[in-house]
């Protein structure tokens, strides 16, 4: 009876279903965008710098000095590799230094890496700059037959560097259709000849923003001055083998990579490391907690195992604070949704007042009538929630594989604030269930109104409605 009642007035039913549908649809889209942005930021920092798990001296994270290093032994390597979730062990030597070129000087993070093994963790080689919109390159491009709208964007992104052609095309507003015509010109005039470091060679890779600050490029000389093991001087000259662009602008502004054996020599610490980053096969939180517990029982003091949450505690706190402000926006959306659903239920109840009166007058119990209305709202809720999920799912999946990339002035504004101009979606996760449950609760709260009206109904007055 409840199902048949719904379709006696299709317009009324569809309006009510639509209110639930839009509630679920917009709640899922908003939450997916918010959580996707957080996930993207986490991954950028984790995969560019810390990794998911590290073994360090127990004092190093709080006091990052060369004295808090350790000897890398075959026994330690064997202990870490025995875990079935360990993929590769990536050695690192990290310290601070003053980087100088000419009269320009800046404090930097110096990270000694294994040029080959680092591909399993932060993939530094994959972040090498491939295109650069230098002033000279832009002047050459302006002499070609590029349309005026692209020329304007060239001036807007003067000095920018790119690790792939797709991000450059997005910034310049070049569509896939136009790429066939204009990418050959960009490859000809904006291609950047880059290089990579080798073990045993006194070479360096530096961040793109740091290179711009120091006014250096490939094959220039970089001078590093710092403090080595037991207070010794750490100074050296290095050829800049290449320039990398990291997705985290703050890190890109102060990073220098050296081969880890050269870095050990610079800081007078042969055979010593500041950390071992563990490249893992499965990176879900439960697996990481299990590995930390296992390694903590096997690795003796003064070594310690740290997870990505402990190493990025400040960032997580900032994201949690931002998430709470985002939850306020979601709450406001739910309030709008709740009043929308309640409004449609109120309209439905008012329209059916005479119908309810007739049914009770001919002998139908009020409890059974209320049960029918409850089932009607359940069916409406199922249809609205189901259709909302079905419509949001393709949009979220597409947004996950094709994140929103801002171009033009909006992208420039994002980069000026030190944020990558990308808005990815988070794929299907627990938030899907929670948004659906919350909307379902709103629907069940809304059904209280028609139930109260039925039980308080005066039959004579209802028949006159």
This prediction's pTM: 0.71
Whole-number percent of the chain with pLDDT over 90: 22
What residue spans define the domains of the chain? 2-44+315-463, 51-308
pLDDT, mean of residues 213-220: 92
Closest CA to 188 of 131, 145, 146, 128: 131
What is the Cα–Cα distance from 100 to 160, expressed in whole angstroms?
22
Closest CA to 82 of 226, 364, 295: 295
What is the tens place of the pLDDT at every residue in 7-40? 877 887 888 788 788 878 888 888 888 888 878 7
Closest CA to 235 of 202, 209, 186, 205: 202
pLDDT, mean of residues 190-199: 91
pLDDT, mean of residues 215-232: 92
Least confident piece of the model among 97-111, 164-178, 256-270, 366-380:
164-178
What is the tens place of the pLDDT at every residue in 2-16? 788 778 778 878 887
What is the Cα–Cα distance from 216 to 222, expressed in whole angstroms?
8
Provide, for the chain, the percentages of residues in helix, strand and coil under a 3-state DSSP scheme, each rounded to the nearest 5.
Answer: 55, 20, 25
pLDDT, mean of residues 394-415: 75
């Amino acid at each position: 009876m409840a199902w048949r009642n719904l379709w006696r007035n299709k317009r009324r039913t569809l309006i009510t279903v639509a209110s639930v549908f839009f509630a679920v649809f917009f709640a899922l889209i908003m939450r997916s965008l918010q959580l996707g942005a957080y996930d993207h930021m986490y991954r950028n920092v984790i995969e560019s710098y810390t990794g998911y798990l590290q073994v360090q001296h127990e004092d190093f994270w709080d006091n990052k000095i060369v004295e808090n290093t350790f000897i890398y032994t075959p026994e330690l390597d064997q202990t870490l590799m025995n875990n079935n979730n360990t993929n590769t062990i990536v050695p690192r030597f990290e310290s601070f230094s003053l980087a100088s070129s000419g009269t320009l000087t800046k404090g930097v993070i110096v990270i000694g890496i294994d040029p080959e093994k680092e591909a399993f963790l932060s993939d530094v080689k994959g972040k090498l700059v491939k295109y650069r919109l230098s002033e000279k390159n832009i002047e050459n491009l302006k002499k070609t037959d590029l349309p005026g709208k692209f020329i304007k964007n060239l001036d807007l992104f003067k000095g920018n560097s790119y690790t792939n052609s797709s991000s450059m095309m997005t910034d310049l507003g070049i569509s896939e259709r136009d790429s066939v015509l204009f990418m050959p010109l960009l490859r000809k005039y904006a291609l950047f000849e880059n290089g990579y470091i080798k073990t045993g060679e006194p070479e360096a890779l530096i961040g793109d923003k740091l290179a711009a600050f120091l006014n250096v490029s490939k094959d220039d000389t970089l001078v590093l001055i710092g403090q080595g093991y037991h207070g010794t001087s750490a100074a050296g000259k290095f050829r800049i083998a290449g320039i990398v662009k990291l997705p985290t602008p703050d890190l890109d502004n102060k990073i220098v990579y050296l081969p880890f054996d050269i870095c050990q020599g610079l800081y007078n610490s042969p055979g010593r490391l500041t950390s071992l980053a563990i490249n893992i096969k499965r990176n879900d939180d439960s697996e990481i907690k299990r590995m930390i517990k296992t390694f903590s029982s096997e690795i003796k003091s003064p070594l310690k195992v740290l997870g990505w949450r402990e190493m990025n505690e400040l960032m997580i706190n900032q994201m949690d604070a931002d998430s709470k402000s985002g939850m306020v926006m979601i709450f406001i959306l739910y309030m709008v949704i709740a009043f929308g659903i309640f409004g449609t239920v109120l309209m439905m109840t008012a329209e059916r007042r005479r119908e309810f009166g007739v049914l009770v007058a001919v002998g139908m119990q009020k409890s059974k009538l209320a049960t029918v209305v409850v089932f009607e709202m359940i069916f409406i809720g199922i249809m609205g929630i189901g259709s909302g999920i079905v419509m949001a799912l393709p949009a979220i999946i597409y947004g996950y594989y094709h994140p929103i990339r801002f171009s033009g002035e909006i992208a420039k504004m994002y980069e000026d604030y030190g944020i990558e101009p990308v808005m990815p979606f988070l794929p299907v996760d627990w938030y899907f269930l929670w948004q659906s449950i919350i909307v379902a609760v709103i629907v069940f709260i809304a059904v209280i109104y028609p139930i109260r009206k039925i039980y308080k109904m005066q039959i004579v007055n209802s028949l006159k409605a």
